[in-house]
Amino acid sequence: MRSDDYDAKSLSIMDSAAALFAKVGYPNAKMQDIA
């Protein structure tokens, strides 16, 4: 069962990842920098 704010958290993580990829490039991105 998903939490009520699952979609909001998911979108927030994807936005953070996209910003990081734009800044440092996909190969240089680390999971700990996103989360």
* pLDDT above 90 for 11: yes
The Cα 25–Cα 2 span in angstroms is 31
3-state secondary structure of 2: coil
What confidence score (pLDDT) does residue 9 get? 95
Domain boundaries, the chain: 1-35
- Kind plus residue range of the DSSP H or E element containing 24: helix 6-24
Q: Decide if 9 contacts 35 (C-beta within 8 A).
A: no
Predicted confidence band of residue 33 (pLDDT cuts 50, 70, 90) = very high
- For the stretch 12-31, pLDDT in tens is 999 999 999 999 999 999 99
The Cα 5–Cα 11 span in angstroms is 10
What confidence score (pLDDT) does residue 35 get? 78
Q: What is the DSSP letter of 25?
A: -
Is the overall model pTM greater than 0.85, yes or no? no
